[in-house]
Amino acid sequence: MGVPSPVPVALNQVFETYKHNQVTLTILGSGVWGQTLAGLALANQHQVRLWSRRQGLTLEQAVAGADLVISAVSMAGVPDLAKELEALAIAPTTILVTATKGLDPATTLTPSQIFQQTFPGHALVVLSGPNLAGEIQQGLPAATVIASRQETAAEALQHVLATETFRTYRSGDPLGAELGGTLKNVMAIAVGVCDGLKLGANARSALITRALPELIRIGTHLGGQAETFLGLSGLGDMLATCTSALSRNYRVGYGLAQGKALEQILRELGSTAEGVNTAQVVMAIARRDTLSLPICDQVDRLLRGQISASAAVTALMERQLKAEDYQQLLRVG
């Protein structure tokens, strides 16, 4: 658990009221994930405003008087959205939540880091976990992580979104939770390739298992805590995203393995696959900081058209033989 950030007593008292009363919740982004989160809050009788640039409600109207504001826009829209929100003088009692998984290409920052820079005095919460929106909308059981350095703010969102079929867990490592949900998208592309090439269950299992230490390596390098990546927002999210055709990133890899062009795959998806951008940003960081990320490297090469799907698999199989490093998984202190 991270060290909680000090929050003024008055704010903590306000956040406590959010746990036991109906709140006004604004969700920025009316895509499938935004609509799913809106449905969870509505199930608990909260007042929900759903905003997008294509609808009539202005951003100022959407956030006015909101107790919680959840950003569920794509990564590409986060920097501009943060700037627009900054100009609206949002009340300090408003909890800001990010439910976006990605890295900004210009700065390599996560959404929470961008919002924290913009709103240093606000309580900031990250929502991340194995949350395939289609299954949640069907009422199938799911769980997620609500992570914040301000524990009372995390508890407030826990109560707002928890339902009989949606269980919320609390964490003090928002950056780690966010990075787990971001980095696993690259691994999901790799597993999609594996399945698209029909390499079998042995290959899929080996790939997911080897992806975990790689995820921990880059995640801890960027500031997350190792143990966070073994939980719902790390391993849990990776398992869901790497094993379901509902995952957009998995479908990208599967399509590439079938010989489709990336542009065609993204057009057919009709929505964002954040792993495509994340792979490029992660490898830029790896080259800058001299990190060994073999799976991410091959995914990035494949997405850039520099290598075929089968050649990417061959490159991974031909790497120098080595011992399996359990210590990286166990080194959580």
Instruction: Please give the sequence-ordered ranges of beta strands (E in DSSP) within 122-274, or none if there are none.
Output: 124-128, 142-147, 166-171
Q: What single-letter amino acid sits at 56?
A: G
Q: What is the mean pLDDT of residues 63-92?
A: 96
Span 99-128, average pLDDT: 96
The answer on pLDDT for 104 being more than 50 is: yes
Q: SS3 for 296?
A: helix
Distance in angstroms (rounded) separating the CA atoms of residues 130 and 241: 7
pLDDT value of residue 1: 44
CA distances from 79 to 31, 111, 119 (A): 18, 8, 12
Read off the tokens for 3. 């060290």
Residue 265 has pLDDT above 70, yes or no: yes
Q: What is the pLDDT of residues 127-163, one digit of tens each?
A: 999 999 999 999 999 999 999 999 999 999 999 999 9
d(CA 195, CA 302): 15
9 band by pLDDT with thresholds 50, 70 and 90: confident
Alpha helices in 110-269 (DSSP H): 111-118, 133-137, 151-161, 174-196, 201-221, 237-242, 248-257, 262-269
Given pLDDT bands bounded at 50, 70 and 90, which one contains residue 332? very low
Rounded average pLDDT over 191-201: 96
Average pLDDT over residues 301-329: 86
Residue 226 burial (CB count, 10 A): 19
Domain annotation for the chain: domains and CATH numbers: 9-172 (3.40.50.720), 176-330 (1.10.1040.10)
Q: For residue 5, what pLDDT band results from cuts at 50, 70 and 90?
A: low
Digit-coded pLDDT (tens) for 286-300: 999 999 999 999 999
Cβ-based burial of 189 (10 A; exposed 0-12, middle 13-18, buried ≥19): buried
Average pLDDT, the chain: 93
Radius of gyration of the chain measured on its C-alpha atoms: 20
- Asked whether the beta carbons of 153 and 7 are under 8 A apart, the reply is yes
Other CB atoms within 10 Å distance of the CB of residue 238: 25
Mean pLDDT over residues 195-206, rounded? 95
Q: 320 pLDDT band (50/70/90 cuts)? A: confident
Per-residue pLDDT for 99 more than 80?
yes
Residues that are catalytic: 184
Instruction: Please report the pLDDT score of residue 11 as a whole number.
Output: 87
Query: Taking residues 298-305, what's their average pLDDT?
Result: 97
Question: What phi and psi values does residue 49 have, to the nearest 5 degrees?
Answer: -115, 125
